[in-house]
Structures are given as C-alpha cells and as structure tokens.
Structure 1
Amino acid sequence: MELSCRAFLYYCCFLSLLFFSSKATAEEDPSAIISRFQRYLQIDTAQPSPQYAQAADFILSQARDLSLESQTKEFVQGKPVILLKWLGSNPELPSILLNSHTDVVPVEQEKWSHHPFEAHLDRQGNIYARGSQDMKCVGMQYFEAIRKLKASGFEPVRSIYLSFVPDEEIGGHDGAEKFVDSDVFKNLNVGIVLDEGLASPDEYYRAYYAERCPWWLVIKANGQPGHGAKLYDNTAMENLLKSIESVRRFRASQFDLVKAGLKGEGEVVSVNMVFLKAGTPSPTGFVMNLQPSEAEAGFDIRVPPTDDPESLERRISEEWAPASRNMTFELGQFKQKVSVHDKFGKPILTATDSSNPWWTLLEEAIRKANGKLGKPKILFGSTDARHFRQRGLPAIGFSPMANTPILLHDHNEFLNKDEYLKGIDVYVEIIKSYASYVEHTRKEASRDEL
C-alpha cells in the first residue's frame, strides 16, 4: 500500500513537470524575447553606412531557429534583401508579405541619454535605441509572433513571407523598389502587404491606408543685377520673396485645417521651405553691394492621394513660379515627383471598408488581442508601402505601439518592453487570421448567418 502511494506521488510529480515544461515551451520567458530584440537593436545599421552584413547574419539566424526557408538577393551590391518563407498548406492562394526595413536614420550621439546602439533597458522598462520604433521592433515582432504560432502547433493555409529590405530611410530605391520590380517578387503571388506605421500616444493603435507623395520643388528667380544701393523692379530676390510669401499663405491655409481638427496631417498638402540660395560669395561671406541676378529656394511638398494634383501644378506654374515674373521651376519639373496614382491610374490607397477583406480581418484580429484600433489615417511621411501600393496591391501600415510617444528619427527613441510584448500578441492574431483566410469559406459563413 505504501509503495503504491509513493508511486502515485511520483506519477503526479511527473505529470506536473510535463505540464509546466510544455507550458514553458509555449510561453517563453519574456526576458529571452526582449534579449533578442536588444541584439537586433545593437547592430548599427544607421545611414549612410549601415552594417547590413551583420544584420543579415542575425536575421538569418532567427530564420534558422524557426525553420523558415530563406533566400538573400542583392539587387544592388552590398544591399541585401532577405526573404523568408513559411509555406502554407495551399500555396496557390495569394500570400501574405510582412515587410520591414533594416536601416535606421543617423544619430547625434551626444544628445542621447543612453548610447543609441546599446539598447539600454531602464527601470521603467523602456528600451532606448535607434530603431526601437522605426522599425526594428516590427521586424522582430514578426519573428516572435511566428515563434508563438509554431509553438502552438498552428499551420498556415496561405504562405507567409517576411522581407527585410535595405535603404528605406533614403527612399528605398535600391531596396523595396527594386524588389517589387523583380521576378522574385512576382513569383510570390502577394495578396496583402503589412508594413510600418507609427506609435500612438493614446490607447488606440494607428493604421495607415495611404501616404502622401513627395514633390520636391526648386523655384528659381531671375532679375537684373546691379549695384546694391539702386532700386530696380523685379529683381531676382524680390521675385523670389513674392513666391515665398504666396507659398507661405497656402501653407498656412492647409495648416489651419489641421489645427481646427477638420483634417488630419496626412490629409492636407504640406509645404516646407528647406533651402534658400542667393547672393555672390566672397572670401569673407557675400558681396554686399551687388544685387544677384539669380535666387532659388527648395520646397518639400507632400501630396495626399486624395488631393487634385493638377490643381496644385497650376498653382505652382501660375502663382508660385509664373513666367511673367521671370520664374522657372526645375524640369522634371521637380527634383522628385511621385505620382499620386498607381500603375492602373487609380489613387494610391488601400480600401478600409467591407470591400477589402484584409482590412476587416485586421480589425477583428486586433479586437481578439484586446487591442483598440483608431480611425484609419493617411501617413504624413513616406514608407516602403508606397512601392507595393503603386502596383495596385493592398498595403497597410501598422506598428502596434500604443501609449507611446512618437519618437521616430528623434533623440532618445525608445519603446517600452510591455508594449513590445503586447504587440507580439497582436501580430499573432493578425498572422493567424490572414494565413487562415479562405474567401469562399467566409462567404459560406455569411450565408449561414443570414
């Protein structure tokens, strides 16, 4: 009797150990998850000299740990595009692409309270590092979500791809742009792309369905040169100042809409003067008694896809740089001008209503993860998502960082570890939902409900 009791106790202990061991496998120690995030952040991939090789080694090591297929392509030498694959049970269905970029913007190290590539974790749980918000967090959250899904035994129906691309912070021309133009990308049969968004200072996550397109404009004014003491009509400087004042009034009218709460920042045309060049240089500065014959100014203009680009071009040619005032604007007619229309002639935006099942699935997944999603927005800046949208693909910008100040490109960029961990659970639900989605089953379910 005593022996059988002892055996029973041993058996119970064995079951307990088995239970806690399996639970530990499924629910990994958060410190290990944070440690992996810190290791990625500690790789200095700041422009203009990103350590892409070290980043690639780290990413590929994570892929091996998760038994993901991998390939590396260099469309431009020294700038690797890393593509990972989790094969779905029905690879004929359009796939899911989880995109992120490996580079980050430069830092002014002396203005940081912690080293920007140390990934310092303070007592409040804040992780200080360049890229903690933009956007190494998202790349690692993809990995961690897949780690959790695999541990739970989940098997995707659709194939899932992860792409880690270079050079987003300088336009993505040697990264995402070349990637989407390649046969490699065409063979992926992508149905939906997730890319980066922004942090949210409140409890609502932010999602972006479009972004403003950059128009970089240089206006040049010409006029009669002459003595600095003589008065002339229509000098180069006078003509340029008239244009600058016209631009300023337009800028103020757009900004007033934002301040009044009538439009979001991404819904208006923004214009900011970024340089002013005039005068005749001298060894001590500029010649003071000589009026220049040329003057020019540069403007960073961002145009939402919901705006009328033809109206803006007329404003530029008739008000900001009229030929009647000896004004010209650079042929191109811009240094850079990105179309607000995709290759099919439609505005570059992703639908956020029932016509887009991917949007509905995103909303449902965030709710399942006990998150709150705010009103969808147009992003005020530019990301690699535009390269996918220009080819008519739906792309959603989303970075699950609630209750977090927006610090991308700022000093002391940080992300709290608890928000990072919550974001992983959000991606678990999104990836599970996207990878399980089969259109005809949803239609049948809808008919049954009716």
Structure 2
Amino acid sequence: MEPILRKTSRASLLQLLFFLLSITQLFNLTKSSTEIISRFQQYLRINTAQPYPNYSQSTQFIVSQAKTLGLESETIEFVKGKPVVLLKWPGKTPNLPSILLNSHTDVVPAEHHKWVHPPFQAHLDQDGNLFARGSQDMKCVGLQYLEAIRGLKESGFKPDRTVYLSFVPDEEIGGHDGAERFAESDKFQSMNVGIVLDEGLASPDENYRVFYAERCPWWLVIKATGAPGHGSKLYDNSAMENLLKSIESIRRFRAAQFDMVKAGLKAEGEVVSVNMVFLKAGTPSPTEGVEGHLSLGFVMNLQPSEAEAGFDIRVPPTTDPEYLEKRLAEEWAPSSRNMTFQLGQFKHKVPVHDKFGKPAVTATDNSNPWYSLLEEAVKKADGKVGKPEIFPASTDARYFRHRGLPAIGFSPMANTPILLHDHNEFLNQAEYLKGIKIYESIIKTYASFIGYSRDEESRAEL
C-alpha cells in the first residue's frame, strides 16, 4: 500500500502547486490591471477642459510615463503655452515610413452640477464604470497607446518601423494651434510618417467603429438688414422676415438630409448636417418701466434693422462644395432679400479636399494595406470591425489627410454608449483594458510590416 499512498501524495502536491501558480498569476494580473486603471485615473483627474486647460500638468504626466517606458520625448510649442508632446520608439529599420499615434490632451467643459460624479474625480463605480470628462474623448486612447507599448516592451517586442506618439492641444477648439501647426511643420516632415491613427467613436454594439474620412465644419453667419419700423406695421423685406425665410429654407434642407438617415439610405456621416447654433436680433431696451419697454431688455414696439443667425454645417468629402456654396448664396442668403451674406463671411471653413485636389479620404480597399492590416490585427485580438464610416464630426485627422496621408479614426470601445461631450461621460474598465490589447495587436502588426517603403509608394502613385 505504501507506493500507492506515495503516488497519491505526489499527485496532490502537483495539484496544489498548479493551484498556487494559478492564484499567483491571477493576483499579478489583478495587480497589473489595478495599476493600469490607476494611471488612467491620474490622467483623467488633470483638468484640461477648455478654455483654460492645464497643459503644464498633463505634459508633466505624459513625459513621466514616457520615462518609465524608455521612450524618447520632446515638447514643442508652436504657440506659446500650447505644447505638443512627441514621444518616439525607434524602429530597427528607420528608413521605413513611421507610424504616428495621435491623441489630443484637451477636453470640453463640463457642467459639474449635472454629473452624478464630479467630472474630474475619475470615480470608479461598483459596475466598473469610470466616470470622467475625457474618458471617451479621448484621454482613453492616449493612455491605451502607452499601455500597449508597455505590454509590447515587456514581451520583448522590438519594432521594425519607428513609432511616434503625439499628444496635441486645442483639438476641441479647432486644433489650429496644435495638430494643424504640427502637421505643417518641418518637424513633422522629418518624421517620414506613413500612417496616422487618431480618434473614433464608441460603438453601442460589439463591432468597433472605423473612420476613413470626416465631415468638415463650415461655421456660417447669415446677416439680414432692413429698415426699422413700428412694431405694428407690416413691412416688406424687414430684417426679421428675411432671416426667418432663410431659416425656413435651411430647415427644409436639413429635414431632407435627415430623412435619408432615418430611412437608412445614408449614414449620418454621408449627409450634410446643418444646425442653427445662435440667433441674435432685437433692439436692446435702454430703460425699464417705460411704455414699449419690458424688463426682458428689448424694445417691444420696434422692429430691428439687423438680425443674425449662426449655423454649424458639416460637409462630407463626397459633397460638391461649389454646389453647396452656390445654394448658400442664391437660396439661403440671396442679396435680393437684403441679405448681406457673402462667401467671405464664413467664420470657419475647412476644405473637403486635400492639398492635391483629391477628396480627403483614406482608402479602405486593397489599395491601402494599412486598413487591411488594422482589420487583421483587431481580429487577432478577438475583436470585430464594422463597416468603415465617415466621421460625423471633425477630428485632428483632417490635418494629416490634407497632406495626402492615410489617417484612420479608431477608438476601441465596443458595447458602449456614445457619450463624448455628454453629461456623465464614462468608460467601463473592462472595455478600456480590452482596448489596450487591441492596440497591442495593431501596433505590433503595423510596426512589423515591411511590405513597402515610401519610395515604392511614390513610384506606384506615379
């Protein structure tokens, strides 16, 4: 009986050892995940909300993370007080076009009293939801880049292509002092960038959303003028009457575009969206308590001589801009109705074509290996990619596409409500951690790809 007992004891010991090993691995995994989430919370707690973002603190944090990862770092101010933090992971074959992982450090303001948890506290609730301004847009992506590189370095991976990470300012107010100046700089030219990754959107279902283009913002102000007159008299071509006619014409256009979306004929990013964002009219009242004046602050028995309305127009790259401009001039603000609108009155107008005159889109067919590689990498990491889309709003990716570079918008957030700029913006920690693994796969795939060089690209283009 003794040999049998000894054999049983040996088997039990092995089982115990395997159990202890599993517990240790689980503990290390839990510890690692906790540290990753803690770093994300640190970044989220830095208040970089416009109009007074704390760029100094966010820069210090990013540079400190770069040091722990052994990445080269450089801080560039194209505009004083607005730093672009550039990190570099050198590749073994530096003559190959590099990879740029772009993210912005600023966030939109938050109405604190309308949040269930303070927007810069980075509260983690019992369901694993991390509430914070920037949790989706887009501090998550910036930190996921870094955590993915941390994981790749720990595994011993060495990239063939150089990988750059850029943390840029002011995206939420147009990106003119951030990504735009960066993309136009000699520094960017020297980086020999071959592909850019930038932000996308959360997906309510299991498929990650991928964006190959975006609608460009045209911020428009229409102004109507007319003779002032008594509030009781009916005038032809009064300022308010003419402005209301324009608003109604624009409303009908908006409804027709929206009907195509609701009918499923087009995606949101494929139509022209028009939304009125302000209306300014009326004659301010100099006094109160006098006949014709109310405490509301406007003269009630006087028709104003001027009226203005502002519109946020988003134009997809598939739209003919000349046709739209003609419609604006002839239908929405015609001079025959005392409309003083001119094309030069655009407050902000981004071109829908790149500097070579081509639509500012990134190919998603076989002509663009970067897109195929991204699909392949996401699949390797047990993720799914949906149909490529046109981004309904605007991102910094447009400045890189304008240079003729491929740029893909991608934020790995599946099964997540779209909450960018909303109250109670949050991201579940499990989805955040999974996104890191997705980026590990993408960065590894991109950085290992040596299919062609920039010179070969140029020859193929010619």
**Pair in the same fold by TM > 0.5:** yes
Q: Residue 84 of structure 2: which of 52, 57, 81 is its match? A: 81
- What is the 5 A alignment of 1:309-324? 309-324=321-336
**Paired residue type of 1:101:** H
In the alignment, the residues of structure 1 paired with residue 19 and residue 302 of structure 2 have an alpha-carbon distance, to the nearest angstrom, of: 89
Instruction: Tell me the residue number matched to 1:218.
Output: 221
Residues 405, 18 of structure 1: CA spacing in aligned structure 2 closer, same or farther, 3 A cutoff? closer
In the alignment, the residues of structure 1 paired with residue 168 and residue 400 of structure 2 have an alpha-carbon distance, to the nearest angstrom, of: 13
Does residue 116 (structure 1) correspond to residue 128 (structure 2)? The answer is no
Q: Residue 429 of structure 2: which of 405, 414, 417 is its match? A: 417
Does residue 246 (structure 1) correspond to residue 272 (structure 2)? The answer is no
Residues 113, 278 of structure 1: CA spacing in aligned structure 2 closer, same or farther, 3 A cutoff? same
* Contact 1:217–1:329 (CA under 8 A) maintained in structure 2: no
Instruction: Tell me the residue number matched to 1:345.
Output: 357
**Paired residue type of 1:303:** V
Does residue 104 (structure 1) correspond to residue 107 (structure 2)? The answer is yes
Q: Please report how far the alpha carbon of residue 27 of structure 1 lies from its aligned counterpart in structure 2 after TM superposition.
A: 9.2
**Paired residue type of 1:164:** F
Instruction: Tell me the residue number matched to 1:444.
Output: none
Does residue 178 (structure 1) correspond to residue 181 (structure 2)? The answer is yes
Instruction: Tell me the residue number matched to 2:401.
Output: 389
* Contact 2:141–2:411 (CA under 8 A) maintained in structure 1: yes
In the alignment, the residues of structure 1 paired with residue 35 and residue 44 of structure 2 have an alpha-carbon distance, to the nearest angstrom, of: 14
Is the deviation greater in 293-302 or in 339-348? 293-302
Give 5+ residue unaligned stretches, structure 1.
Answer: 1-12, 442-450
Q: What is the SS of the residue equivalent to 2:194?
A: strand
Residues 233, 16 of structure 1: CA spacing in aligned structure 2 closer, same or farther, 3 A cutoff? closer
Q: Please report how far the alpha carbon of residue 38 of structure 1 lies from its aligned counterpart in structure 2 after TM superposition.
A: 0.8
Does residue 140 (structure 1) correspond to residue 143 (structure 2)? The answer is yes
Instruction: Tell me the residue number matched to 1:380.
Output: 392
* Contact 1:193–1:395 (CA under 8 A) maintained in structure 2: yes
In the alignment, the residues of structure 2 paired with residue 81 and residue 147 of structure 1 have an alpha-carbon distance, to the nearest angstrom, of: 21
Does residue 56 (structure 1) correspond to residue 46 (structure 2)? The answer is no
Q: Residue 362 of structure 1: which of 366, 369, 374 is its match? A: 374
Instruction: Tell me the residue number matched to 1:36.
Output: 39
Does residue 269 (structure 1) correspond to residue 272 (structure 2)? The answer is yes
Q: Please report how far the alpha carbon of residue 40 of structure 1 lies from its aligned counterpart in structure 2 after TM superposition.
A: 0.8
Give 5+ residue unaligned stretches, structure 2.
Answer: 1-15, 287-294, 454-462
- 1:401-426 CA-to-partner distances (Å, cap 9, x unmatched) read 00000011111111000000000000
Q: What is the SS of the residue equivalent to 2:176?
A: coil
* Contact 2:335–2:341 (CA under 8 A) maintained in structure 1: no
**Paired residue type of 2:50:** Q
Q: What is the SS of the residue equivalent to 1:191?
A: strand
Q: Residue 162 of structure 2: which of 152, 159, 164 is its match? A: 159
* TM-score using structure 1 length: 0.92
Instruction: Tell me the residue number matched to 2:74.
Output: 71
**Paired residue type of 2:131:** Y
In the alignment, the residues of structure 1 paired with residue 303 and residue 181 of structure 2 have an alpha-carbon distance, to the nearest angstrom, of: 46
* Contact 2:329–2:342 (CA under 8 A) maintained in structure 1: no
- 1:362-417 CA-to-partner distances (Å, cap 9, x unmatched) read 00001001001111111111111111111111100100000000011111111000
Instruction: Tell me the residue number matched to 1:5.
Output: none
- Percent identity over the alignment is 74
Q: What is the SS of the residue equivalent to 2:241?
A: helix
Instruction: Tell me the residue number matched to 2:448.
Output: 436
Q: Please report how far the alpha carbon of residue 314 of structure 1 lies from its aligned counterpart in structure 2 after TM superposition.
A: 1.1
Aligned residue pairs, count = 429
Is the deviation greater in 19-28 or in 57-66? 19-28
Instruction: Tell me the residue number matched to 2:439.
Output: 427
Residues 253, 19 of structure 1: CA spacing in aligned structure 2 closer, same or farther, 3 A cutoff? closer
In the alignment, the residues of structure 1 paired with residue 178 and residue 423 of structure 2 have an alpha-carbon distance, to the nearest angstrom, of: 26
Residues 440, 105 of structure 1: CA spacing in aligned structure 2 closer, same or farther, 3 A cutoff? closer
* Contact 2:238–2:305 (CA under 8 A) maintained in structure 1: yes
Residues 83, 17 of structure 1: CA spacing in aligned structure 2 closer, same or farther, 3 A cutoff? farther
Structure 1 residue ranges, 4+ long, deviating more than 3 angstroms after superposition: 13-28
**Paired residue type of 2:102:** N
Q: Please report how far the alpha carbon of residue 28 of structure 1 lies from its aligned counterpart in structure 2 after TM superposition.
A: 6.4
In the alignment, the residues of structure 1 paired with residue 197 and residue 28 of structure 2 have an alpha-carbon distance, to the nearest angstrom, of: 28
- 1:220-252 CA-to-partner distances (Å, cap 9, x unmatched) read 112222222122211111111111111010000
* Contact 1:25–1:151 (CA under 8 A) maintained in structure 2: no
* Contact 1:218–1:330 (CA under 8 A) maintained in structure 2: no
Residues 349, 28 of structure 1: CA spacing in aligned structure 2 closer, same or farther, 3 A cutoff? farther
**CA RMSD of superposed structures (Å):** 2.1
Instruction: Tell me the residue number matched to 1:295.
Output: 307
**Paired residue type of 2:389:** K
